[in-house]
Amino acid sequence: MNSLLSHTFGKSASYTVAIFCTCGLILLLLMLLPLFGLIIGFHPKLFLASLQKFVVWQAFLVSIKTTLISVLIILLFGFPLSYLLSFYNFLGKGTILTLLELPLVFPPIVGGLGLLIFFGRGSTFGIFFKNIGINVPFTPLALVFVQIFIAAPFFIFTVKSAMDQVDRECLLASASLKASLPATLLFVLIPMVFPAILSGLTASFAKALGELGASLIFAGNFPGVTQSMPLAIYIILQSNFDDAIALSMLLVVTAFLPLSLLKLTITRKK
């Protein structure tokens, strides 16, 4: 094991490093257990058979459709929000930042309950939405709401953090070189925070895709409409174990794919 500090501290280091190695190994193993489990339960033949089942693809489509919409909304609305939070100071900014952390500390299932009550047919808002023709609970729209709630903070904080680190003088330089704000955003700011935008998007995508707790309560379970992949896994688990495993594999790969593609493009650029 090579480190800059390999020879710095001499013998006194070896015990400490040994303990660190043990702790690190244990944690690593614990974290890899689920993956090991999936690999053990994976049988190529059964996997392919499951993939041909309608219920599996149905869930996949529901997940993909809703997650892509959610991520798109997060991008289009989250970027401006990150910008405002990074470059402006205003009354209540601290409160807003704390509120945005809410989905990170709220158990998803509690979030789902809250949404259920808010949009419930008994509540004033619920009735309002029903009257203007927008039906939310038990529709794909409900899934989108839930996914945005869960995933948006990941995007916003990643991008805001990157924006915080942009040298303000660079933006002033852009202005001094006769660039308007839109031009500065397009040619200076966005290129500078682009890696953060991508990483925020991939994190949001994965989070949204895998959301179960809140969607269970708020979006309901209707195959083809609101039965997302995670929900399908939960429901199908009792009747068809192999289908559930296949769906799990599918889910993991789908969540992982954007991240790995991203890493590939970045390393290629370098």
Identify residue 196 by its one-letter amino acid code.
A
Q: Is 99 a binder of another protein (CB under 8 A)?
A: no
Residue 198 token pair: 């991508």
* Closer residue to another protein (CB): 65 or 130: 130
Q: Which of 51, 69, 73, 237 binds another protein (CB under 8 A)?
A: 237
Per-residue binding letters, 158-197, with another protein (x by CB under 8 A): ---------x-xx-xxxxxxxxx--x---xx--xx-----
Check binding of 221 to another protein (CB under 8 A): yes
HSE toward the beta carbon, residue 201, CA cutoff 13 A: 21
Nearest to 170 by CA among 183, 188, 185, 197: 188
Return the residue of 9, 36, 222, 256 that touches another protein, per CB under 8 A.
Answer: 222
Whether the Cβ atoms of residue 135 and residue 128 lie closer than 8 Å to each other: no
Number of H helices, E strands in the chain: 13, 0
DSSP classification of residue 225: T
**Cβ proximity to another protein, 45 vs 168, nearer residue:** 168
| Alpha carbons 205 and 219: distance in angstroms, whole number | 18
Measured from the Cβ of residue 208, the count of other Cβ atoms closer than 10 Å reads: 29
Residue 133 binds another protein, judged by CB under 8 A: no
**Which stretch in 12-20, 76-84, 99-107, 202-210 sits in contact with another protein by CB under 8 A?**
12-20
Residues found near another protein in the complex (CB under 8 A): 1, 6, 14-15, 17-19, 21-22, 25-26, 116-117, 120-123, 126, 137-138, 167, 169-170, 172-180, 183, 187-188, 191-192, 220-223, 226, 234-235, 237-239
